[in-house]
């Protein structure tokens, strides 16, 4: 059974919105260590609910599940509460003592502060401004605490409660009672399933109108999070019906009526039978309009001396197309010479006095293409797309890449980057539809041309859409595919490209660049060998650092060969049993993009220091942006990175990639395997079993996402159709 302890937060070693650890001084004067998923502030009088645990490092601790705030029931406690609580500005210990001594009890004190501050002012000679400020803060704090107690009954975390209070104030209780599903619209951390659990505990009926609408919106949102930009109307009704489980025979009709309402009021929109949100329909409509207007428009660049010597036929075709068209795609696999063509183009642009913007979806990819071009004699700074468009985590501030940035006075901003004649996007397969639209909106194609460079055989973007594949499949803009591996590419790139031909090349004789170890039957065997391989064999034979130079890549987060299990295994092997989340020298990743970190997208690096106490966190040496202190809610997004999925590794290269592919990864396909092996710049080691590798390379499970670009290109959008009818 859970236990309760009450007291004052004496000290906090670490405090963030979602986790705190510190010392509680109990009502009987004992000091005990505590930790829990909430924010605790020094001086707060609280009650913790949880269990005692004997920690091997810190001794006896109280592991709390929840925190609630209390009012002291004695005079000394009330004095300290008023004097030290940060909400009560201007109330020192002397003033607090006067007020408390005038009250007969905590209840009497509450009534005095709420209703009788004139009496307190007259009798205690306390300034009116001080008392009015105290009353305002007291009422607000008391109301918030009552709300917290109410919300805690539904299992919400402290951070979630604070988010709700910040959004709705004390009115959140009324919001919950009237329609708890409204929370989904206003609070990012609240999804349908979480809110539905709360609502069902409150007794909200299954057929509540807000519940049905929220369920429909959840199904659409889930489709978007899976990479699609729309869902068929009939499928929407079916999936919502399965989700909501209404206790009525006409449940589908009831759900349809609600869907019709969402379509009428514009929360959902449809094109034919394709249903989505207004944002995503508008996003792909804009992309389509740009491609229609500029995709095949010729805009030859005068005064450029073409330098075709040494280029293969397809490379020369790509070079000439980029000089002729407003938009062009250059796609090709590892070793086909994309970077070489890009270098030749960039040199021609620079010689003609043209300004080139070079960008990529991730910081690591931007750094890599910058270094690759530098090795070919080009000095171009590469940025992330978000940094190029001056994204601050909330909005894009760069209005145009084609025209000078202006000040509020209408003058050209001399401190801003000048406009660009050419924008080059590398690793464009990772760019989702919303980001592509933001980029296109900022290019005037009468002034600036766009060159999209990537590999359409890699995994699609994490976000919705599949722009690169749609362009190539439907010939939306001029596209040149480089499909010939250059002779000097080497065994690694040659064997990586062979994956696309359903071939797993055997271990290369006398060349450690390509190794296949496929005799493992059980995942546990792979774990044992993997630990020895990374920590002993690779450092000994290849002279590589096991932390900085080696990246393990696996298809999944779960299971014995998932990122979670492998990361924990590697951490234990390096640091032994752990008390905290990470140790110094651990390799970590900021799993959620945070553009406050120098514009980087999911940066990685080692932990160089751990700071404790209030305001503490992890000091991490992120690639490309130097050492940064990660604290507060950012700490929760820091994850171990000894093992990554191919999606998280995409856009990066590593001296050595160890790729796990076992029969338990039956869902792995050719595009995943190809993406994984092409992350290696010098050595690739494939580990698994023969069936798992053969299954992956044979499975042509190219992700066919539902996108409007593809729908319109195929003329598959019936006009004047009822979006919720089943198509024949």
Q: What is the DSSP string of 566-634?
A: HHHHHHHHHH-S-SSS--TT-EEEE-S--TTTTT-SS-EEEEEEEE-STT-EEEEEETTTEEEEEEGGG
Which pLDDT score is estimated for 84?
Answer: 66
- Whole-angstrom Cα distance, residue 436 to residue 428? 9
pLDDT digits (tens, 9 = 90+) for 430-467: 999 999 999 999 999 999 999 999 999 999 998 999 99
Nearest 10 degrees: Cα torsion 296, 707, 695, 496 = 30
Name every residue whose Cβ is closer than 8 Å to that of residue 519 and which is 6 or more positions away in sequence: 689, 690
Which pLDDT score is estimated for 175?
Answer: 77
Q: Are 12 and 51 in contact (CB under 8 A)?
A: no
Q: Which pair of structure tokens corresponds to residue 168?
A: 């709705």
From the list 559, 587, 573, the residue with the least C-alpha distance to 666 is: 559
Length of the chain: 728
List strands edge to edge, sheet with 231-232: 231-232, 274-276, 269-271
Name every residue whose Cβ is closer than 8 Å to that of residue 78 and which is 6 or more positions away in sequence: 71, 72, 96, 100, 103, 106, 109
Residue 4, beta-bridge partner list: 49
- Whole-angstrom Cα distance, residue 135 to residue 128? 10
From the list 380, 365, 360, 385, the residue with the least C-alpha distance to 441 is: 385
- Whole-angstrom Cα distance, residue 413 to residue 410? 9
Q: Are 530 and 658 in contact (CB under 8 A)?
A: yes
Using 50 as the pLDDT threshold, list the residues of the chain that sit under it. 598-600, 728
Does residue 464 sit in helix, strand or coil?
Answer: coil
Which stretches does DSSP call E strand in 428-483? 449-454, 479-482
Does residue 637 sit in helix, strand or coil?
Answer: helix
Between helix 106-115 and helix 93-102 the angle, nearest 10°, is 100
- Whole-angstrom Cα distance, residue 481 to residue 661? 28
pLDDT digits (tens, 9 = 90+) for 223-235: 999 999 999 999 9
For the chain, what is the radius of gyration of the CA atoms? 30
- Whole-angstrom Cα distance, residue 457 to residue 437? 22
Between helix 117-124 and helix 93-102 the angle, nearest 10°, is 110
List strands edge to edge, sheet with 356-360: 382-384, 356-360, 422-425, 449-454, 327-332, 479-482
């Amino acid at each position: 059974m859970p236990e309760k302890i009450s007291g004052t937060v004496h000290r906090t070693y670490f405090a963030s919105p979602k986790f705190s650890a510190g010392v509680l001084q109990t009502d009987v004067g004992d000091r005990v260590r505590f930790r829990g998923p909430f924010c605790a502030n020094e001086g707060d009088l609280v009650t913790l609910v949880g269990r005692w645990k004997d920690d091997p490092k810190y001794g006896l601790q109280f592991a709390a599940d929840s925190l609630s705030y209390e009012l002291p029931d004695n005079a000394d406690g009330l004095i300290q509460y008023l004097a030290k609580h940060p909400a009560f500005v201007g109330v020192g210990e002397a003033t607090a003592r006067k007020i408390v001594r005038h009250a007969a009890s905590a209840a009497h004190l509450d009534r005095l502060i709420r209703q009788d501050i004139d009496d307190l002012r007259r009798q205690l000679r306390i300034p009116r401004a001080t008392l009015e400020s105290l009353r305002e803060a007291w009422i607000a704090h008391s109301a918030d605490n009552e709300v917290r107690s109410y919300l805690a009954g539904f299992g919400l975390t402290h951070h979630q409660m604070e988010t709700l209070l910040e959004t709705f104030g004390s009115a959140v209780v009324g919001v919950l009672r009237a329609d708890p599903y409204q929370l989904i619209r206003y609070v990012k951390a609240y999804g349908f399933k979480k809110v539905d659990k709360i609502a069902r505990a409150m007794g909200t009926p299954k057929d509540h109108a807000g519940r049905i609408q929220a369920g429909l919106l959840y199904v659409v949102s889930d489709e978007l999070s899976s990479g699609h930009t729309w869902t068929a109307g009939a499928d929407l009704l079916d999936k919502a019906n399965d989700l909501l489980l209404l206790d009525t025979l006409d449940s589908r009709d009831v759900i349809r009526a609600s869907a019709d309402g969402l379509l009428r009021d514009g929360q959902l929109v449809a094109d034919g039978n394709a249903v989505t949100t207004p944002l995503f329909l508008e996003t792909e409509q804009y992309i389509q309009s740009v491609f229609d207007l500029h995709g095949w428009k010729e805009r030859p660049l005068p005064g450029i001396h073409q330098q075709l010597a040494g280029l293969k036929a397809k490379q020369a075709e790509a070079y000439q197309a980029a000089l002729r068209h407003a938009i062009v795609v250059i796609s090709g696999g590892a070793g086909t010479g994309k970077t070489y063509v890009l270098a030749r183009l960039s040199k021609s642009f620079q010689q003609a006095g043209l300004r080139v913007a070079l960008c990529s979806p991730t910081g690591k990819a931007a750094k890599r293409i910058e270094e690759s071009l530098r090795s070919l004699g080009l000095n171009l700074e590469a940025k992330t797309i978000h940094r190029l468009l001056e994204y601050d985590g909330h909005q894009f501030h760069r209005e145009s890449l084609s025209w000078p940035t202006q000040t509020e006075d209408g003058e050209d901003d001399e401190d801003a980057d000048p406009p660009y004649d050419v924008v080059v996007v590398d690793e464009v397969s990772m760019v989702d539809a919303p980001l592509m639209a933001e980029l296109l909106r900022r290019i005037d194609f009468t002034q600036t041309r766009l060159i999209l460079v990537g590999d359409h055989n890699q995994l699609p973007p994490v976000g919705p859409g599949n722009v690169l594949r749609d362009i190539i499949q439907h010939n939306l803009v001029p596209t040149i595919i480089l499909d010939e591996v250059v002779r000097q590419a080497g065994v690694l790139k040659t064997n990586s490209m062979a994956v696309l031909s359903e071939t797993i090349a055997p271990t290369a004789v006398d060349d450690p660049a390509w190794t296949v170890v496929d005799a493992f039957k059980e995942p546990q065997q792979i774990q044992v060998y993997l630990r020895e391989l990374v920590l002993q064999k690779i450092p000994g034979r290849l002279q590589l650092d096991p932390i900085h130079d080696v990246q393990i890549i696996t298809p999944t987060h779960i299971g014995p060969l998932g990122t979670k299990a492998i990361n924990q295994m590697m951490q234990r092997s390096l640091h032994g049993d752990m008390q905290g989340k990470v140790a110094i020298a651990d390799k970590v990743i900021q799993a959620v993009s945070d553009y406050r970190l120098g514009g980087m997208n999911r940066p990685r690096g080692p932990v160089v220091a751990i700071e404790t106490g209030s305001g503490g966190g992890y000091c991490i040496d992120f690639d490309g942006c130097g050492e940064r202190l990660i604290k507060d809610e950012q700490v929760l997004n820091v994850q171990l990175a000894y093992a990554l999925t191919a999606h998280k590794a995409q856009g990066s290269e590593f001296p050595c990639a160890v790729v796990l592919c076992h029969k338990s990864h039956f869902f792995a396909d050719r595009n995943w395997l190809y993406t994984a092996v092409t992350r290696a710049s010098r050595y690739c080691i494939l580990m698994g079993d023969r069936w798992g590798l053969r299954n992956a390379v044979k499975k042509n499970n190219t992700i066919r996402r539902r996108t409007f670009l593809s729908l319109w290109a195929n003329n598959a959008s019936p006009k004047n159709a009822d979006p919720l009818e089943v198509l024949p």
